[in-house]
Amino acid sequence: MRPTLLNALATLLLASITSLALADPPARVGRISATDGLVVLQTTEGEYIDSGLLNWPLTTGNRISTMRGGGAEFRLGSSAVRLSGDAELEVSQLDDDHFKLRLLHGSASVRLRNPQALPGFALDTPQARIRLQQPGWVRIDADRPLGTTVLGVLEGVAEIDGPGDTLTVRAGKRVELTDDDVRIGLLQRDAFDNWPELALAGAPALSYVSEDTTGYEELDRYGSWQNDADYGPLWLPRSLPAGWAPYSDGRWTWVAPWGWTWVDNAPWGYAPFHYGRWVMVGQRWWWSPGRGRQRPVWAPALVGWVGGNPHGGHGPSVGWFPLSPRERYVPGYRVSADYQRRINSDGRWTGNGGQRERRDGLIVLPQDQFGQRRTVQVGSNTPATLPPAQIHHVPLAPLPAAPQPGNWQRPNGDEAPRRPDWNQARDWPRRAAQTLATDSPGRPPIPALPATPPLPAIPAMPALPRAAPDLEREHWREQRLYQQQREQRAWQERERQEYPRRRDGRIETGSMPALPPVIMPRAPAVVVVPAQPSQASPPPQPQQQPQPPRREDGRRERGDRGEGNGPRRGNNAEMLR
């Protein structure tokens, strides 16, 4: 009996270890879909990114901060979250089953359309937790004013769980919650609630892709659909410059746990680069999402790699090309067999891809760019493409090695590493003027290639509505860190000034035991003056012998008592004064 139990425990332990070793990364990853003003992203590695955030992937541990007058929006499938200016939000947990957020302060507007997303969603504030009981739209204000959480329900039904109580709030209602009070009233909208929704339920793209495909709402605005007999539904982006290829205008950045991840510059450049495949039909690039509409699995970049040195460092060039619909994607990170099956679940992808039929769009960069930087910029003037005759003869290669830890703080070759004493409240506003000029639109146009006709104008993203200003909250936010620093410096200065005095006082007191006897005679001397009339009566006549004038001259008596000499007493009296 005992050996059987031990064998069972050993088997369970081995299975647990194997499961941990093959822990798959999340199949869902969010996307920053719009920015307005100065927006800063804190990554899981502790870095701060304040430019080029469009299409940046969001996962567990990321934190978004907006400055006053700005705003940001990020999406996960059909769910969307919008932040006002002067707000800070953390992605607490984002995986296949959970979507949990924490609003530290500021205003957030949340839309959930998919009923399957409701059980795993929650938003925490310093005072409460908010959930949705049905698909809907809510607005949450945290610490506006301080110590208060306000929930307004614009659509659907929400639930707020506060200290000792849980309330159900329906559309058109508003709840204000503090640590010791709850107020319920009618919802009053402001400019921040005027949110033009792009991910409409009847979007044409939903006929070809699942609503869990993050970024699908951009496809109808920037392209058109067509059915193909060989590849099924295909999507063609509009206004592509001559010579354009997938994964040619953006940057590679290292995102844990996936590794090198593509961030495209195009406003529609999220879904086509993290799901599906690319194929060239009729001398034009088309995106193929696959025939099924099942829930997709997110990938950092669906490309094949060639050349390079798998161990990193200085070496030959490294290149990549978009995978075609008949080529299987092999992750460069540790995954299970089930994960590989799900990420290649369309059935058109065969075995190991066989003899790859084409490698159109191959782009080559020097190997050392991946080893020396955390972010590798790829633009119209950066990559070099190989002649078509050489493309099919380049050997395949694994993913480039991870960047060296010492160079991770240098995303661009000409940007100095950030100081260790970097302060967000102090240093972000210094870069605001530069960032506002480049990131304010939130939808940067695709840069034109040299010697090509200018591109048609891309429709602009509607401006993010802004919440009504909260002067108390904004003033407190700006002064919080400065006040802490001033108090710290003042305390240190007081310590430096007071410590020598306290130290000297202890030395003098310990080396002069006669100080208490010196103080005591002064008090009776003051009392004796009003008591002079009582000396005229016969009984107290003997009391005149210890009078102070006689004691002042009686040095031998003081010496017998061990009180020192006259000059020493005078010095002590001056010190006490």
Do 356 and 239 share a domain, yes or no? yes
| Residue 500 is assigned to a structural domain of this protein | no
Do 373 and 234 share a domain, yes or no? yes
Residue 522 has a CB neighbour count (10 Å cut-off) of 11
Our count of domains for the chain comes to 2
Do 434 and 355 share a domain, yes or no? no
Do 251 and 301 share a domain, yes or no? yes
pLDDT for the residue numbered 536: 47
Do 292 and 249 share a domain, yes or no? yes
Domain range enclosing 209: 204-417
pLDDT for the residue numbered 501: 53
Spell out the residues 6+ positions from residue 224 whose beta carbon is closer than 8 angstroms to its own.
235, 236, 238
| Residue 303 is assigned to a structural domain of this protein | yes
Do 136 and 220 share a domain, yes or no? no
- Long-range CB contacts (within 8 A, 24+) of 165-171: 168/133, 171/136
The residue among 429, 449, 469 that closes a domain is 469
Tokens representing residue 158 in the block: 């929400």
The residue among 390, 417, 444 that closes a domain is 417
Spell out the residues 6+ positions from residue 346 whose beta carbon is closer than 8 angstroms to its own.
290, 291, 292, 325
| Sign of the dihedral through C-alpha 561, 566, 570, 572 | negative
Q: Where are the alpha helices (DSSP H) in 312-405?
A: 337-343, 368-372, 388-391
Nearest in space to 277 (alpha carbons), one of 319, 325, 321, 313: 325
Q: Are 114 and 78 in contact (CB under 8 A)?
A: yes
| Residue 527 is assigned to a structural domain of this protein | no
Spell out the residues 6+ positions from residue 554 whose beta carbon is closer than 8 angstroms to its own.
none
Q: Are 50 and 40 in contact (CB under 8 A)?
A: yes
pLDDT for the residue numbered 482: 56
What CATH number is given to the structural domain containing 71?
2.60.120.1440
| Residue 343 is assigned to a structural domain of this protein | yes
Do 429 and 388 share a domain, yes or no? no
Is the N-terminal amide bond of 540 cis, ω within 30° of 0?
A: no
Do 451 and 326 share a domain, yes or no? no
Total count of residues recorded for the chain: 577
Which residue ranges of the chain lie beneath pLDDT 70? 1-22, 197-201, 308-315, 346-359, 372-373, 380-489, 491-492, 494-577
Distance of CA 54 to the CA centre of its chain: 15
Instruction: Tell me how far apart the alpha carbons of residues 363 and 383 are, in angstroms, rounded to a whole number.
Output: 6
Do 312 and 427 share a domain, yes or no? no
Do 240 and 302 share a domain, yes or no? yes
Nearest in space to 59 (alpha carbons), one of 19, 116, 100: 100
Do 126 and 267 share a domain, yes or no? no
Tokens representing residue 287 in the block: 């995106």
| Residue 568 is assigned to a structural domain of this protein | no
Instruction: Tell me how far apart the alpha carbons of residues 115 and 277 are, in angstroms, rounded to a whole number.
Output: 28
Buried b (16+ CB within 10 A) or exposed e, 487-503: eeeeeeeeeeeeeeeee
Instruction: Tell me how far apart the alpha carbons of residues 74 and 65 are, in angstroms, rounded to a whole number.
Output: 12
| Residue 291 is assigned to a structural domain of this protein | yes
pLDDT tens, 99-151? 999 999 999 999 999 999 999 999 999 999 999 999 999 999 999 889 999 99
User: Rg of the chain over CA atoms, in angstroms?
Assistant: 36
| Residue 10 is assigned to a structural domain of this protein | no
| Residue 111 is assigned to a structural domain of this protein | yes
Do 86 and 220 share a domain, yes or no? no
Tokens representing residue 519 in the block: 């103080």
